[in-house]
Amino acid sequence: MTNVAFSIETTRFDEDYSPLASTRITTNFANLARGESRLQNLRSTFAMIDDRFNGLVRGDDEDGGRYSVELDIISVSVDIDGGALRDAVPLIEVLQTTVVDRRSGERVEGIVGNNFSSYVRDYDFSIVLPAHAAKPSAEGLPQGFGELHGNLFKSFLHSDAYAERFGKPPVICLSVSSSKTYSRTENQHPILGVEYRQSEYSLTDAYFEKMGLGVRFFMPPNGVAPLAFYHLGDLQNDYTDLELAATISTMETFQKIYRPEIYNAHSAAGASYQPSLTNPSFSTTAIVYDREERSRLALEQGRFAEEHFMKPYKTILESWSTDAARHHADLKGARS
């Protein structure tokens, strides 16, 4: 099989953080760390995360300030057969949480994943998908849509680089889809909250499935809308309460900033729930964020990926992806 090498770089995301030149500016953490309001944005965001975490795991913590959540940006690059692809774009950027117990000084490693950013995904959704939809005879999705991205992600999870750095599979936590309906179930978890079921698969769900990830939807305690958790294995039992709480507090905070109509709404989701970005009954945070710029930059970054990654390495990527798909199918067959 074609030789693939992944490398990982770690950058602390704190109030001193400034986006690297290679970082997707549409990424949640990068978007917050720019402009005149960057410092106040970051301080307010971290305070919201800590408050939410302590609320979820309060227990014997009377003043609600026992824990703090630290965040590291995990940037993943790839070389295929020595092709120096790592010099083009970062393959993946995710976050890793660390829980700090201020009382004991103990540090607990959290889940990797949380936020998810990918130039290749920008290319797929902002370049490939619109071009396909513009064809008069277009039906369904473009042939092979998301397969390269999925093979890259699954290969990273099976790599030595991942195994050496992380002890558990990733969990990626995103907003629910405003085009789907969610129904409340009887299943509840002390940290994840009440589980919801989705009316039908979304395009994002299908894309993450090609990455090897399934999805479940939970509305955490004192939340107002479900979150989508993309994961491997058993979400409810493979992770500790502290690990899950760190992911929820981080990603729910981001969603309150970016989608306040859903996650900072004045009323909570009921037994049947359809999210809406036109909901007039919500509160904004004091954190400055330009949603229109974020949408525009996704297209620009998709074009960048096309120019610097997809086109220059087209032949090597296609050949590798074919081999990788066969390898992953063999692994799946061996486990079944």
Q: What is the pLDDT of residues 168-190, one digit of tens each?
A: 999 999 999 999 999 999 999 99
Q: What is the pLDDT of residues 154-166, one digit of tens each?
A: 999 999 999 999 9
How is residue 182 written in tokens? 């969610």
How is residue 189 written in tokens? 């978890």
Residue 61 has φ and ψ, to the nearest 5°, of: -90, 95
- The predicted pLDDT at position 336 comes to 54
- The predicted pLDDT at position 26 comes to 43
Cβ–Cβ < 8 Å for 94, 174: no
- The predicted pLDDT at position 297 comes to 75
- The predicted pLDDT at position 113 comes to 96
- The predicted pLDDT at position 102 comes to 92
Which stretches of the chain are DSSP H helices?
28-32, 38-56, 119-123, 129-133, 147-157, 160-165, 203-209, 241-258, 260-263, 291-305, 314-335
Q: Which residue has the tokens 């949480």?
A: 97
Find the mean pLDDT for residues 107-113.
96
- The predicted pLDDT at position 301 comes to 83
Is residue 77 scored above 60 in pLDDT?
yes
- The predicted pLDDT at position 24 comes to 44
Is residue 204 scored above 60 in pLDDT?
yes
**Percentages of the chain per state (helix, strand, coil), in multiples of 5:** 40, 25, 40
Is residue 252 scored above 70 in pLDDT?
yes
Find the mean pLDDT for residues 76-88.
72
How is residue 97 written in tokens? 């949480």
Find the mean pLDDT for residues 65-83.
87
Cβ–Cβ < 8 Å for 92, 20: no
- The predicted pLDDT at position 272 comes to 97
Percent of the chain with pLDDT over 90: 58
Mean pLDDT of the chain: 87
Where is pLDDT greater, at 175 or 38?
175
- The predicted pLDDT at position 225 comes to 98
Q: Give the three-state DSSP class for 56.
A: helix
- The predicted pLDDT at position 334 comes to 62
- The predicted pLDDT at position 287 comes to 81
- In 10 A of CB 239, how many CB atoms? 22
pTM: 0.92
- The predicted pLDDT at position 20 comes to 59
Model confidence at 293, in pLDDT bands (50, 70, 90)? low
Model confidence at 72, in pLDDT bands (50, 70, 90)? very high
